[in-house]
Structure 1
Amino acid sequence: MKEITVKELKALMDNGADFQLIDVREQHEAEIAEIGAELIPLGTVPENVDKFAKDKQVVVHCRSGARSGNAIQWLEANHGFENLYNLKGGILAWADEIDQSVQKY
C-alpha cells in the first residue's frame, strides 16, 4: 500500500495540486476535527466507490491510518484502484506535525 506523510500532504495542499482527499471516519469524528476532506465513512465505502477518483491521486485518511488502510486494501482488491495513498498517522499525525489547533481525540 502506498503511503503519504502529513508533510507531503501539506505540500500538495500548499502547491494547489489536483488530488482528492477522502476521510473515512464517522460524521461525529469529523465534527471534532477535520482537514478539508470529503467524508465517506468506512462502512459506506462499498456503495460510494464511484466517488473515489481513478484519474488522479487520492489521499485517504482516518484518525490514525488503520481504517483508511483497510478502505484502500478493499478498494484495490475489489475495484482495481492504483492511485490511492494512505495518510500515514492520520489526523493525529496532522495535529502533531502540521496544525496543533486540530483537536486530538
Structure 2
Amino acid sequence: MRKRNISVITRLNKKEQQHLKALVKRSGLSQEAYIRHLINGVIPNDAPSPDYFRMMKELHVIGNNLNQIASKAHRLNVIDVQEYDKAVRLFEKTVKDITNAVITPKKY
C-alpha cells in the first residue's frame, strides 16, 4: 500500500514544463521526488558526475587501507597514535564535507 495516496494536478505551460523537466533531469530525481523536496523546503542539488562516485570510492579504499595500517602499527607499537588519529579524523571530516557539499540538498 502506498504511503502517498493523494494526487495533485498542476497545470503548466510549455515553457514551465520544459524548465521543470530540465531541473528534474539535472537533479537525477523523479519529478515527484523533486517536487516533494521543494514542498519540504529543500533545494535539490544537481546529480553529481560519475567522477564524483569514482573518486569517493577511491577515498573509501584509501580510508580502509589507513585503518589496516593503523591496526598493524598499533599492534607493533610503531606509530604516534595521537598524530595518526588526528590525521584520520581530518581525512574522515574531509570526506564528509565533500559529500555534504555535493550530495546533501540545501534548505531554503
Name the structure where helix makes up a greater proportion of residues.
2
Instruction: Compare CA radii of gyration and give the structure with the larger one.
Output: 2
**Same structural fold, with TM-score higher than 0.5 when normalized by the shorter chain:** no
Give the alignment's TM-score, normalised by structure 2. 0.25
